[in-house]
């Protein structure tokens, strides 16, 4: 009976190996990806609806896999108190990332600690190991006195698989939370990640006490994210 149990374990291990995928960021020079973000925000007790279309353009890919992506807001609008207002296009920022998507540097107008904190909370970083449904992993980020980023912990769990349009995806639940400061921020939700190139296909998120450049106070709200190209 012991040998039968070992046999079942080997069969299970073989099934895992067959289904497991190493999630790896894949970029192409000049590749353009657009995302539409919709949200309902609690802004000092007032409800605000927002829609923003952003564009990411791959500008450089170094020999070591480091990639530089330019991000810009193409269009947007907000509505509150029965009024609607267009969000003007903003100057582009450039993010240089390690091959796994971890932020190395952000350049642009008005880049400060708030920008780094938000990027760390929003970022999806895959593990080095192969994963499948049921896989879990945790990533810990350290504070950086040069950028102003604070320490955080990101937890992930693959809860399913879905075919979304042309993409085969993993459905991944996550929670990113700052672990220091008087008012730590957190973002939790679900992302659908392409198995082929580790890009985000769609997502949902709940923001709690999240800083945003230009905002006079932290933001609480719920968002959806949809890839449009």
130 vs 82, which has greater pLDDT?
A: 130
Contacts of 14 by beta carbon, 8 Å cutoff, 6+ apart:
none
How would residue 215 be classed by pLDDT, with cut points 50, 70 and 90?
Answer: confident
Range of 2-6, 108-112, 188-192, 217-221 with top mean pLDDT: 188-192
Cα torsion for 116, 122, 123, 126, to the nearest 10°? 150
pLDDT confidence of residue 110: 83
Q: How far apart are CA 137 and CA 154, in angstroms?
A: 8
Average pLDDT over residues 15-44: 86
Range of 6-15, 39-48, 131-140 with top mean pLDDT: 131-140
Bridge partner residues of 167 (DSSP): 164
Q: What is the pTM of this model?
A: 0.88
The 10 Å Cβ neighbour count of residue 147 is 19
pLDDT in tens, 127-155: 999 999 999 999 999 999 999 999 999 99
Q: Concatenate the DSSP letters of all residues of 118-185 into one string.
A: HHHHH-----SS-B-TT-EEEEEE---TTT----EEEEEEEEEEEEETTEEEEEEEEEEEE-SSSS--
pLDDT confidence of residue 46: 85
Strands 152-164 and 93-97: unpaired
Range of 121-125, 181-185, 200-204 with top mean pLDDT: 200-204
Average pLDDT over residues 172-196: 96
Distances (CA, A) of 108 to 96, 112, 132: 12, 9, 37
Distances (CA, A) of 155 to 113, 120, 221, 226: 22, 13, 20, 22
Residue 114 DSSP class: H
Contacts of 12 by beta carbon, 8 Å cutoff, 6+ apart:
none
pLDDT confidence of residue 3: 43
pLDDT confidence of residue 90: 77
Average pLDDT over residues 20-24: 94
6 pLDDT above the threshold of 60: no
């Amino acid at each position: 009976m012991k040998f039968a149990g070992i046999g079942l374990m080997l069969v299970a291990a073989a099934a895992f190996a067959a289904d497991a995928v190493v999630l790896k960021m894949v970029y192409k020079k000049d590749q353009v990806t657009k995302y539409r973000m919709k949200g309902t925000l609690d802004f000092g007790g007032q409800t605000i609806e927002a829609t923003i279309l952003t564009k990411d353009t791959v500008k450089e890919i170094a020999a070591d896999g480091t990639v530089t992506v330019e991000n810009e807001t193409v269009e947007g609008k907000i509505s509150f108190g029965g009024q609607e207002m267009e969000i003007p296009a903003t100057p582009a920022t450039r993010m240089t990332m390690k091959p796994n998507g971890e932020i190395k540097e952000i350049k642009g107008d008005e880049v400060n600690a708030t920008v780094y904190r938000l990027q760390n909370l929003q970022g999806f970083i895959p593990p080095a190991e192969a994963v499948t449904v049921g896989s879990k992993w945790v990533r810990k980020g350290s504070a950086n006195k040069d950028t102003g980023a604070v320490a955080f912990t990101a937890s992930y769990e693959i809860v399913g698989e879905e075919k979304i349009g042309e993409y085969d995806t993993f459905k991944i639940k996550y929670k990113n939370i700052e672990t220091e400061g008087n008012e730590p921020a957190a973002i939790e939700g679900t992302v659908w990640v392409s198995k082929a190139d580790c890009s985000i296909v769609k997502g949902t998120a709940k923001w709690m006490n999240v800083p945003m450049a230009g905002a006079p106070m932290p933001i609480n709200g719920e968002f959806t994210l949809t890839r449009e190209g």
